[in-house]
Structure 1
């Protein structure tokens, strides 16, 4: 695969800055693809592999770190009232304007990024020509219920450790973190050891977990943040853009979690990666890149 030129810069966002990177050229006739990372509170690093689509089909691929995370402005003193869905929708719109692509673009959101992508899409922005929702819940209540169902299949000693520390409020204890990792290795990223880009995201979250802590909570299955009651299920029929839904067979985004997208987004195409959990873009990278690229090429032709 030939090397593709990338450029990094910042988009002013009010008093803040949004870091972004373009792989490929915005002069390409192909739809530029914007990649929204998950969390909320992750960084672009763990979804870095999507840049390979630029070499596959010649489109520009734009990664960015959402404000509060990674290379963008960090705001560790801001509380839950600051971290809202509206904030991140405004940031996405601002980035599209800054790049000059608001009239024609594709959007891929992974996990929380897919929730954000759906929130963006239900507003029917005319420039959104394709949407990829990757491993995303449509309802946080369903997400938590399914995460805890999966948790009940963990070894009993792991379950006991999780419950004991949650009850005592000692969720930063190393034993709790080790027990949580058993869940993560099964249902978040099954590649062990984690690839460097995945490990880098989690290291950065350990360094500053402001957004994740306020919006989600301490872990994937202990959601007590501002998103705990979030749902978009009833608004999904408003999505007009061609939509691809992807998930993994062993995903924490279980079939029940992603079902509303498949059933309520008109014409939604669903692909399940049989050897993946929550990160097909890492666990079955080549196949995932080919599926996403093929979808984008088809809907833009």
Structure 2
């Protein structure tokens, strides 16, 4: 269950300028102290696309281990520049990879960082990793598919298990192109209650992300579509399966037992990435970082600690050459 104590406040907040606007970020902890101690800072990539970072804020509690944690809002959502009138062709994987590169450079951690990506954020994190960036120390993929066709196939199976009357409402509105109707939204919620987040009411930080997403769903509607199970956007054919062998860092794959990121959609990570570890949270759906927060955080903390150690079990030197 979610931890009731307050979320950690930001140590630093700011913006990074890019050709398309400003990217907002927040840091919990101290980047310099983290790196001096041999702890590569953790950069957290949110999902959606276009679903602001707030729902992932409890991951900032990892800063209590001495590791700085960076959250940011990707372009098009949250506190970053919104571009509701932009040409749809703007919203590409390449745009968000470039944005991540600019952020890493601005924070001075290009040569020393770890990444946790949740859902779409994990897709983006994998795209970052397959380029084999020299400074990437480890990768956590939470609730992330290796391809959208695999995602869609798994989600279709979950959808067929919904009550027949719910399926009929979804089918009718999708066929009519009326997926913006309240009836469709209500029917979609039946799926989300099973496979997105199995906690009611939603914690405030999750509710905040949803409220912001509803206010401006531009990026999501362009890249995904009207819902998690009607993927007709530009990501519909996305896949990284044939490039996974290029990942050269330790990888931890996490999912919930009732996750909309089904077992078949995450299987290629374990199959094609050497040494990738898989952990399934039995009481969770798409947000085990909320539903089983302590177990999730402990798993990530233990994995990241190992990423701070080289293959011989010796602490790697800190960027300043100090003993870790």
TM normalised by structure 1 equals 0.97
Q: Are residues 1:59 and 2:67 paired?
A: yes
Q: Are residues 1:8 and 2:13 paired?
A: yes
Task: Give, in whole Å, the separation in 2 of the partners of 1:239 and 1:73.
Answer: 31
Task: Give, in whole Å, the separation in 2 of the partners of 1:114 and 1:77.
Answer: 27
* Paired position in structure 1 for 2:169: 161
Q: Residue 80 of structure 1 contacts residue 226 of structure 1 at CA under 8 Å; is this kept in 2?
A: no
Alignment of 1:40-119 (within 5 A): 40-55=49-64, 57-119=65-127
* Paired position in structure 2 for 1:296: 304
Q: Are residues 1:36 and 2:41 paired?
A: no
In the superposition, relative to structure 1, how do residues 15 and 231 fare at CA in structure 2: closer, same or farther (>3 Å)?
closer
Tell me, what secondary structure is at the counterpart of 1:51? helix
Query: Deviation above 4 Å: which 4+ runs of structure 1?
Result: 1-5
Kindly tell me the number of residue pairs found equivalent between the two proteins. 300
Q: Are residues 1:250 and 2:258 paired?
A: yes
Mind listing any 5+ residue stretches in structure 2 that lack a counterpart? Answer: 310-324
* Paired position in structure 1 for 2:149: 141
Q: Which residue of 21, 28, 33 maps to 2:26?
A: 21
Mind listing any 5+ residue stretches in structure 1 that lack a counterpart? Answer: none
Tell me, what secondary structure is at the counterpart of 2:89? coil
Alignment of 1:210-289 (within 5 A): 210-289=218-297
In the superposition, relative to structure 1, how do residues 85 and 270 fare at CA in structure 2: closer, same or farther (>3 Å)?
same
Q: Residue 111 of structure 1 contacts residue 135 of structure 1 at CA under 8 Å; is this kept in 2?
A: yes
Report how far residue 5 of structure 1 moved. 5.3
Report how far residue 4 of structure 1 moved. 6.2
Q: Residue 10 of structure 2 contacts residue 26 of structure 2 at CA under 8 Å; is this kept in 1?
A: no
Report how far residue 31 of structure 1 moved. 1.1
Task: Give, in whole Å, the separation in 1 of the partners of 2:91 and 2:254.
Answer: 27
Report how far residue 202 of structure 1 moved. 1.1
Tell me, what secondary structure is at the counterpart of 1:11? strand
| C-alpha RMSD over aligned residues | 1.2
Report how far residue 62 of structure 1 moved. 0.1
Report how far residue 80 of structure 1 moved. 2.2
Report how far residue 244 of structure 1 moved. 0.5
1:9-55 CA-to-partner distances (Å, cap 9, x unmatched) read 10111241000000001022211000000011111011111101001
Q: Residue 199 of structure 2 contacts residue 291 of structure 2 at CA under 8 Å; is this kept in 1?
A: yes
Report how far residue 232 of structure 1 moved. 0.4
